[in-house]
Structure 1
Amino acid sequence: MSKIYVLDTNVLLQDPYSIFSFEDNEVVIPAVVLEEVDSKKRYMDEIGRNARQVSKLIDGFREKGRLHESITLHNGGTLRIELNHRSFQQLQEIFVEKTNDNRILAVAKNLSLEEDTKENGRQVILVSKDTLVRVKADAIGLNAEDFLSDRVVELDHIYSGFAELYISQELLNLFYSAGELKVSEVTAKTLYPNQFLIMKNSLGGSASAVAIVDPSAKKIKKLVFDHDHIWGVKPRNVQQTMAMELLLRTDLPLVTLIGKAGTGKTLLALASGLMQTEDMGYYKKLLVARPIVPVGKDIGYLPGEKEEKLRPWMQPIFDNLEYLFNTKKPGELDAILAGMGSIEVEALTYIRGRSIPDQFIIIDEAQNLTKHEVKTILTRVGERSKIVLMGDPEQIDHPYLDEYNNGLTYVVEKFKEQHISGHIKLIKGERSGLAQLAANIL
């Protein structure tokens, strides 16, 4: 039996095409949702773009018939703008204020009560990204669900970029002597291009080796680079060694790093970028950017010129640069950066729309990007450039994103089979013993 899905505003603002995600069921959009969408159309960020897209989609449906009477969608379902069932009588003793959320709940509840009176009444389900709206729906006996169709993958299944294998001592010896092995010799599992393998003795010996799958995914090979003290930074664990290998590879224009605070993502990326820009001359400029949450939000409310406005948002980047340049005095780092001219620290707002060739690009806090925004950024990357996206999917500041549907997770999953990209999940915190202990027990 078909169902009735009542959509909350945040579902449409997260994914304008969510209307088509409910198969052959009926999709109901309360009139108050249209009012909320209309109030967001003037925003100059991702929310505003999605609000305008929703408006265009619904306007296009008018050619098929009257929206309040229901129209047929191409996937077999129907869409209706709900103008009735707005009575607040059922909820007025529970929720005193007639907020937009409560008005949406009232529409869904009244529809549900009407269906209950029918012999073959359909199930009414409220779909919302707002946790408290779902809680309130449950409290009044209304079915409620999160919108899950935009999820790329469950967090526990996010591609880590490495795997552990137990192989014979003979194969380990062969790997040491030959420097490579066929994938078919070590495992029957599917391996991805540029995936790392931690190979251990299957009989429990101490022998082990770290290998990387070649771009064809048919062979595994030894790591190429000597990772000893790159700009004063030395990898402290095996995942950091893997990350440095990817960061130093000039044949990988895309690298993604995931890890909690203190795992070394920013420091490793900056050290690698500085070496390849300043010492090796592979790139003309090192560009470091991070989103001002929400992305696209103007920083005009902060005092001062552009550089002064950006400083509070970009301070984590400057902290790492001060460590790498070993600066001691106030203003010393600014003088160094001004003298070099090849390092640019920028808000993400100001790099969108540019074409960026011959640069080593670092995008920090990429978990706060939407799928559309990360696509916009990656399509800006010019010839002979390398881009590093990094962040922690468990630490989301964007109001309509979570660990399952953010742009960073999206890129990790979509590019894991591509030979021009590499990914690693950093696990162990290396900031300090105190920081690691606090992350574990607090």
Structure 2
Amino acid sequence: MAKKNYVLDTNVLIENPNCIKILRNGQENNIFIPYTVITELDKLKKDQRLGPVVAQAIHTILNDNAITIFPPVFNNSNRELSPDDYILEEIENSELEKPILVTNDRILQIKTRLYDISCEGFRDSIPFRSDSQLFTGFSDDEGTPVRNSFKWENGTPVFISESGPKPIGYTHEVWGIRPRTVYQNLAMELMLNQDINLVSIQSEAGYGKTFLALACALYLALEKKDNNCDKVYLVKPIWEIGAKMGFLPGDVEDKMLPYVRYIHDLIVKLHEQRPANRIFMEGGSDRLRFNQKKFEILPIAYVRGMNLENCVVIVDEMQNMSRTETRALLTRMGEGVKCFCLGDTRQVDNPYLNESNNGLNWVVKKLKGSKGYAHIVLKGDRSRGPITDLVLKSGL
């Protein structure tokens, strides 16, 4: 069978950077890229949203010597040419035998008829996934397993650590809370493991990562006797969704209140499940004041210069922190600290960050496989409620 000559459009490279490997199918087919596609990638690499995907595509092209790039065609006519027109001109000028343009651009698909060029769509498109999404906390069956990860054996998750494999055939119950899914149970296993100091948890909205982290933090700080943790810190970067609220009166806790009201609601819910009077001023959970000796909410800007010891630190919405802020925060942590880093790299509100360049993703990218660190992605059929489930399944 003769080799097929595939010519790739920009949108195919962006929608799935692995399209080159898929279409080549070993050594069965040839891959060609028009010069105009390279110039379009050059423009798109500065896009905050598409930058990481474009970087992947560029890396693949740069390291693949088997790819042929068509030379540019210069417009000597008076008519204005669009990038699509230039791509078609470059294909025609190449005199390639039976080229097949692979594109999901329907207008370009129509234009190929005028040039008598074969055209195919690329259906195997996948959304970009960050490191914190790609590494789910489970090791592949092939190769050496990642330290402090899980693998499935006969339907049972097994924790892989330096001390050996440990089947997780039991269900945790912490502060009166039982996990809804096996992944929530494994997240609790990591947060309660005395050999793991730093845990990162990635999930979409509604899978309970903050609620589980608060339950484990209360247990470690208020109940567990064989550790030195006696206080909970909650650190949260402040980025508003929509219109800005402007100046807010009051002290730090008053200013933070609109951004962390959900934290108070979750703590009240845990308090109703099992009393946690020591974290409230005067023992009253109906007030919006926490006992600063036991529970403190910190803006990220106040962390520099602090020395955190013998405490549990919950970093919420870590995807809105920069790499510099993440390093500054984690280097504040001394002896006796347990840290839970929570977030979703698909919900970046910070306009200067993206799915790849954010604090949560940098933690997973740099610390994966390190001693004392573990990561897990929460998933499953049950989340916050039926409306959240509907939104997540629909892909809204």
Tell me the TM-score normalized by structure 1.
0.54
Shift of 1:409: 0.7
In the other structure, the counterpart of 1:431 is 384
Q: Distance in 2 between matches of 1:262 and 1:209?
A: 25
In the other structure, the counterpart of 1:221 is 166
1:315 aligns with 2:315: no
Equivalent of 2:188, from 239, 244, 257?
Answer: 244
Equivalent of 1:286, from 211, 215, 232?
Answer: 232
Trace 1:37-436 onto structure 2 (pairs within 5 A). Answer: 154=130, 158-163=134-139, 187-200=141-154, 208-215=155-162, 219-223=164-168, 227-281=171-225, 282=227, 283-293=229-239, 301-326=247-272, 332-333=284-285, 338=290, 341-428=293-380, 429-436=382-389
In the other structure, the counterpart of 1:142 is none
Counterpart contact for 1:292–1:349, Cα < 8 Å: no
Shift of 1:304: 2.4
- Amino acid of the structure 2 residue aligned with 1:351: V
Q: Distance in 2 between matches of 1:368 and 1:359?
A: 23
- Amino acid of the structure 2 residue aligned with 1:214: S
Q: Distance in 1 between matches of 2:195 and 2:182?
A: 21
- Amino acid of the structure 1 residue aligned with 2:342: M
Counterpart contact for 2:307–2:334, Cα < 8 Å: yes
Q: Distance in 2 between matches of 1:272 and 1:389?
A: 13
Shift of 1:396: 0.4
Shift of 1:8: 10
- Amino acid of the structure 2 residue aligned with 1:261: A
Q: Distance in 2 between matches of 1:311 and 1:350?
A: 16
Q: Distance in 1 between matches of 2:286 and 2:220?
A: 21
Q: Distance in 1 between matches of 2:252 and 2:344?
A: 27
Q: Distance in 2 between matches of 1:339 and 1:7?
A: 49
Shift of 1:376: 0.9
Q: Distance in 1 between matches of 2:268 and 2:133?
A: 36
* Residue segments in structure 2 that go unaligned for 5+ positions in a row: 1-34, 52-57, 60-127, 276-280
Shift of 1:266: 0.2
Residues 278 and 375 of structure 1: CA distance in aligned 2, closer, same or farther (over 3 Å): same
- Cα RMSD (Å): 3.7
- Amino acid of the structure 1 residue aligned with 2:136: S
Q: Distance in 1 between matches of 2:199 and 2:327?
A: 15
- Amino acid of the structure 1 residue aligned with 2:350: H
Q: Distance in 1 between matches of 2:356 and 2:390?
A: 27
* SS across alignment from 2:153: strand
Shift of 1:372: 1.2
Residues 7 and 439 of structure 1: CA distance in aligned 2, closer, same or farther (over 3 Å): closer
* SS across alignment from 2:306: coil
Aligned residues: 272
- Amino acid of the structure 1 residue aligned with 2:147: P
Residues 9 and 393 of structure 1: CA distance in aligned 2, closer, same or farther (over 3 Å): closer
Shift of 1:156: 8.8
Cα deviation code 1:123-152 (max 9, x no counterpart): xxxxxxxxxxxxxxxxxxxxxxxxxxxxx9
Poorly superposed stretches of 4+, deviation over 4 Å: 5-11, 152-157, 334-340
Cα deviation code 1:277-314 (max 9, x no counterpart): 100142021111211128xxxx9821223221110011
- Amino acid of the structure 1 residue aligned with 2:211: L
- Amino acid of the structure 2 residue aligned with 1:250: Q
* SS across alignment from 2:332: coil
- Amino acid of the structure 2 residue aligned with 1:391: G
In the other structure, the counterpart of 1:126 is none
Counterpart contact for 1:159–1:413, Cα < 8 Å: no
Shift of 1:233: 1.2
Counterpart contact for 2:132–2:360, Cα < 8 Å: no
Cα deviation code 1:384-425 (max 9, x no counterpart): 101111101000001121111111011112111102101100
Q: Distance in 2 between matches of 1:209 and 1:352?
A: 43
Cα deviation code 1:29-63 (max 9, x no counterpart): xxxxxxxxxxxxxxxxxxxxxxxxxxxxxxxxxxx
* Residue segments in structure 1 that go unaligned for 5+ positions in a row: 15-20, 23-151, 165-186, 201-207
* SS across alignment from 2:238: coil
Cα deviation code 1:90-128 (max 9, x no counterpart): xxxxxxxxxxxxxxxxxxxxxxxxxxxxxxxxxxxxxxx
Q: Distance in 1 between matches of 2:301 and 2:286?
A: 22
Counterpart contact for 1:155–1:403, Cα < 8 Å: no
Q: Distance in 2 between matches of 1:9 and 1:267?
A: 37
* SS across alignment from 1:411: helix
Identity of aligned residues (%): 32
Counterpart contact for 2:345–2:360, Cα < 8 Å: yes
Cα deviation code 1:320-359 (max 9, x no counterpart): 111101299xx94265964583111222222233110111
* SS across alignment from 2:136: coil
- Amino acid of the structure 1 residue aligned with 2:304: R
Q: Distance in 2 between matches of 1:436 and 1:393?
A: 19
Tell me the TM-score normalized by structure 2.
0.60
Counterpart contact for 1:227–1:244, Cα < 8 Å: no
Q: Distance in 1 between matches of 2:364 and 2:132?
A: 13
